Every structure is written in structure tokens, then in C-alpha cells.
Amino acid sequence: MNKAEQDLADARISLYNSDKAAYVDNLSAIQKSANDIKDKLEDIWTDENLSKEEKLQKSYELEKYYGEKINDLLAENASIRNNLIDSSFEDLARIYNMSVEDLKGLPQDQQDAIFKNLIPQANSAVA
């Protein structure tokens, strides 16, 4: 492998690692948001100084805020996941002795099987 090929391979690895780190960070943010809303709702509903109406109003506001936040994080997650997949297609095509076009042309369930161990998964049902 000549220097230019090595530099290109190093750049692809760097891009993959950057995308993977962003994906893991995003999953952590989703999990943190889910835990935050759970904890805050529990605090509201165990606060004996609040009326039922106040609890309902505060719960509604939290659910609205965190619902939007989590939806934004999930949209970002899909984008990051696609970037992660795209950054690894060429290397995977080489590993599987396929062209990038052939790899991208596989049915989604087969692509998912190939990428299953490549992309970090959340340890909860949140993501």
C-alpha cells in the first residue's frame, strides 16, 4: 500500500471513528433525557405541596419540552447513523468482496445484519 492509499485509509478510519463517537454521544443524550423526564415527573407527582392541577400542568410542560427534545435527538440519531453507515460502506464492500453499489443494493434486512455489530446500540428501548 503506497502513502496515498494509506492516507486515504487513515482518513476513512478517522471519519468512521468520529461518526461512531457522535452516535454514542447521541445515544447517551437520548438516554439522559429519558431519565431526566422520568425523575422530574416523579418529583412532581410526589410533591405534596402541589395541587393535582399544578401537577398536571407541570407534567404537561415537561412532556412537551422533553418530547420535542427527544424527537430532535432521534432525528439527529438517524442522520448520524446514516453518516456512520456511509463512512463504512467502502471498507465493508472490500471486506465482503463486493462493490459499494452492490452493498447498497442489498435488501435492508441484509444491510442491517452486516451493520449490526458495526454500529453501537443503545442498552435500552429508548433508541
For 12-115, list the strands marked E by DSSP. none
CA atoms within 13 A on the CB side of 36: 13
pLDDT-based confidence at 59, cuts 50/70/90? very high
Please list, in sequence order, all residues whose beta carbon lies within 8 angstroms of the beta carbon of residue 92, skipping any fewer than 6 positions away. Answer: 103, 114, 115, 118
Of 71, 81, 74, 109, the C-alpha closest to 22 is 81
pLDDT-based confidence at 126, cuts 50/70/90? very low
**Which whole number is the average pLDDT over 7-33?**
88
The per-residue pLDDT for 121 is: 62
Q: Does residue 46 lie in a domain region? A: yes
Q: Does residue 127 lie in a domain region? A: no
**Which whole number is the average pLDDT over 50-54?**
97
Q: 108 is in which domain, residue-wise? A: 34-120
pLDDT-based confidence at 124, cuts 50/70/90? very low
Task: Tally the domains of the chain.
Answer: 1
Q: Which three cell numbers stand for residue 14?
A: 478517522
